[in-house]
Chain A
Amino acid sequence: MNRLLRAFFRPTQKITATGVYTILVIAAAAMVLLGWFLPWFVGPFSEGVGFSPQDAISTAPTGIGTILLYVTGVCMLIVLLSPFVEFTLRARHRALDVRWDMVRAAASVVGLVLTVVVWILVRWINEEPLFGALPNGITTDSAVWLEMYGFGLAAITYGLKRLVLERPNVMFVVGVLPFGVLLPLMFHQAPAFVLWATQSLAIYMLLGLGLNVVVGFAGLLDLGYAAFFAIGGYACASLASPIHGVHISLWMLIFIGAAIAATFGAILGAPTLRLRGDYLAIVTLGFGEIIPDLATNNVFGLTGGPNGISGIDKPVVGSVNFGFNPQWFYWSLLFFSVVVVIMLLNMQRARIGRAWVALREDEVAAAATGINTTTTKLLAFAIGASVSGLAGAFYGAIVSIVSPDDFQFAVSIAVLSIIVLGGIGNISGVILGAFVLTFVIFWALPNLQEWSATLGHTFNVPAISGIDFTRYTFILYGAALIIMMLFRPAGLLPSRARKVELESGIESESLAAVQGRA
């Protein structure tokens, strides 16, 4: 049986292995680069450059800092540019066979060590303790952390390339999980960023994981997924706020919310059982419209009307009140996301996962092989919805207020974009998609104005500072989606099914419909 299972999953691994490798390489490069330039991008632009470790050291009397800095820069350039050099050399001189990965790995290790040395030097020169914020260092900590993490990740990815290709999933976790855990510490000087990671990234990642069960695994196109998010969010808000005088702990509520959302998932799923593709999409779209409307109309006096429910309780664990600092929420969400991912991975491998795939591939044949299509579909809806119930419970607790505006159609579409962009049906892809898309929507686009202002100020080009990005936000969002889908039509980390489909033209009825709509 074990051999069977392995045979079952071998092709998947082969395809995602290079994908994971590429992702890790890109992530490492992005972090190194971002760490280097972060001081230019974040923080009040009136201050401009001046808080980076580079400056701190180059102004140091010894001069040794400057040298170290240049060497670090060279390491960065090797890591960033050598793939292109390798590519051009490969094309021209086949004989020139350098072990590029080893070169890059070595450069990464040197870069990592030097960054640490620079870090200590900065502290020493400023007569500061080794840990804790610098008095005037708005983004210094984050920059150095990013730099160190980027170099470290590059060292692992290049140095252990074989391992990455052999065990992509393990190495993906090894590479990404520490970043996930350390994020609030790395960015403790940028609370807005931690808030983004909690309220946007983590919540949408959960939503993506849930919707992926319905759309990705079972092939049922759901355009109204925000409805379940709303149901979970409202259920938990009304049980932990002054509105009805009920105050249940969040740790109970996440299960209650998940159970309620799952129930509604099954209830709303039932009438759609006989529908497929486009028809199913339209009906779910209807649900997505009805639920926030009911909330607006204060249905049964439960939902507080257009203003929603406010004053939602903050969870307390021991002596820690989660309050308005997102970091404890962040870690709790991270924990539950990991639990959800493990559960979903197991389901995907279990009988139910196979049943979902069979259902997606050919419903008639699935029924003829003894799969109960009714319960299989309802389970997909219920499990998918339960994850959004969990997300809804947390969402209310984080932002303290839920209102109909939080659950509009745009939410359903954003979640769907996440899974399409990341790779329908592939859990790692969904995680990555959530990261990329929430970064674009909820961090990059809102901050574009400030970044361009800083840039224009720094280089003294008023034209750049003058662009009014707020008017172009949606155009840029759309353009970003189009560009990403053009370059990776099967998603960033395609599931095997999607990859195969695009390469060989094999297509199944239901997924064809999903693509047409998505």
Chain B
Amino acid sequence: MTPVEAHTEGNGAAPAAAGAPMLELRSIDVNYGRVRALRGVSLTVNEGEIVALIGSNGAGKTTTLRTISGLNRPSRGEVRLRGVPIHQLGAERIARMGVAHAPEGRRLFPRMTVRENLEMGAYARTDRAGVRESFERVFTLFPRLKERTSQLAGSLSGGEQQMVAIGRAYMSNPQILLLDEPSLGLAPILVDTIFEVIREINARGGTILLIEQNALLALKTASRGYVLETGNIALSGPAQDLLTSPDVQRAYLGM
């Protein structure tokens, strides 16, 4: 690698040097009927950073992501994308504005092929050249998918499905990528692969909000983190600090 390349790359990636706020949640409340799943959740994701959102089962992580991408409506508070309020918009509008959501449980289109699933990710795009480029990028990120382009998504292994889910989200050339438990149910080696890809996407300038049960891995990957406890943000800060915080270590790292 020539020094010049290293220099430009260093400029582009610089995960620690956070850019302008990409996504902001301000005092979000979300109710399911009479059950309040989120109360006063505020969080910020800056351009070019990976932010981890950790918490135990039922803490409201998935609800937070669904609220951002418009699948749930907040009863109070606002969501802003680059300063523009989006919490009143429909899911498809939000998706078109550049929020890509790889949902919990992957939710692929099971009877479409891998290629068709990826194409659906680019559904809202009209720049054909860009789409073709994104295809190539996805296949470089996940070489395994290239061999399986015409296999039906429903017949893929869990790990491959997760790759398609991330690839599909990535195909929309998003401003921000929302990943809901990408490591769920995967063997350790596959988890490593997936997280490498997440870092790779970030190194190319991608902004990512990551939900994880695997708090250690998430915090090691992210630059900042939030800890959600029964609908409240209990802790937040640089990932390093959270990793060393005794509360987090006890509750989420099993130390």
Contacts and interface: CB of A to CB of B under 8 A. Distances in A.
Interface of A: 1, 4, 7-8, 10-11, 351, 354-355, 357-358, 361-362, 364-374, 496-497, 500-501, 504, 506-508
Contact of A367 (B91, B110, B111, B149): B91
Interface of B: 69-71, 90-92, 95-96, 100-101, 103, 107-113, 115-116, 119-121, 123-124, 128, 149-150, 152, 154-155, 168, 172
A369 B150 contact: no
A357 B95 contact: no
A497 B71 contact: no
A364 B103 contact: yes
Contacts of A508: 109-111
Secondary structure of the A contact surface, majority rule: helix
B178 to A, nearest CB: 9
A372 B123 CA distance: 11
21 contacts: A8-B119, A10-B150, A11-B113, A355-B123, A358-B123, A361-B109, A361-B110, A361-B111, A361-B112, A365-B103, A366-B109, A367-B71, A369-B123, A370-B92, A370-B95, A373-B91, A496-B111, A500-B111, A504-B154, A508-B109, A508-B111
Contacts of B96: 370
Contacts of A506: 110-111, 152, 154-155
Contacts of A501: 111
Contact of B128 (A1, A357, A373): A1
A506 B156 CA distance: 11
Residue among A364, A373, A497 having the largest count of chain B Cβ atoms under 10 Å: A364
A364 B152 contact: no
B149 A357 contact: no
Contacts of A497: 111
Residue among A357, A362, A365, A372 having the largest count of chain B Cβ atoms under 10 Å: A365
Contacts of B120: 354, 358, 366, 369
Nearest to A351: B123
A11 B150 contact: yes
Contact of A370 (B103, B108, B123): B123
B92 A373 contact: yes
Contacts of A500: 111, 152, 154
Nearest to B101: A368
A145 to B, nearest CB: 42
B115 A370 contact: no
B95 A368 contact: yes
A365 B110 contact: no
A357 B112 CA distance: 9
A420 B92 CA distance: 31
Residue among A355, A367, A368, A497 having the largest count of chain B Cβ atoms under 10 Å: A368
Contacts of A11: 113, 150
Contacts of B116: 8, 354
Given A500-B111, A504-B154, 13 more contacts: A354-B123, A362-B109, A364-B103, A364-B107, A366-B109, A367-B71, A367-B91, A369-B123, A369-B172, A370-B96, A373-B91, A373-B92, A506-B152
Please name the 7 residue pairs, one residue from A and one from B, whose CB atoms are nearest each other, closest first: A506-B154, A370-B124, A370-B95, A361-B109, A367-B91, A365-B107, A497-B111
A10 B151 CA distance: 12
A369 B124 contact: yes
A367 B100 CA distance: 11
Residue among A366, A370, A497 having the largest count of chain B Cβ atoms under 10 Å: A370
B18 to A, nearest CB: 26
Nearest to A496: B111
Contacts of B111: 361, 496-497, 500-501, 506, 508
B123 A504 contact: no
A362 B95 contact: no
A144 B241 CA distance: 90
Contact of A504 (B71, B121, B149, B152): B152
Contact of B71 (A4, A8, A357, A364): A364
B95 A365 contact: no
Contacts of A371: 92, 123
Nearest to A4: B119
B149 A7 contact: yes
Contacts of B92: 367, 370-373
Contacts of A370: 92, 95-96, 123-124, 172
A352 to B, nearest CB: 11
A372 B90 contact: yes
Contacts of A373: 91-92
Contacts of A366: 109, 120
A346 B110 CA distance: 23
B107 A362 contact: yes
B208 to A, nearest CB: 16
Contacts of A355: 123
Contacts of A367: 70-71, 90-92, 95
Contacts of A365: 103, 107-109
Nearest to A362: B107
A501 B70 CA distance: 31
Nearest to A504: B155
B121 A369 contact: yes
Contacts of A504: 152, 154-155
Contacts of B149: 7
A438 to B, nearest CB: 29
A506 B91 CA distance: 27
Contacts of B109: 357-358, 361-362, 365-366, 508
Contacts of B103: 364-365, 368
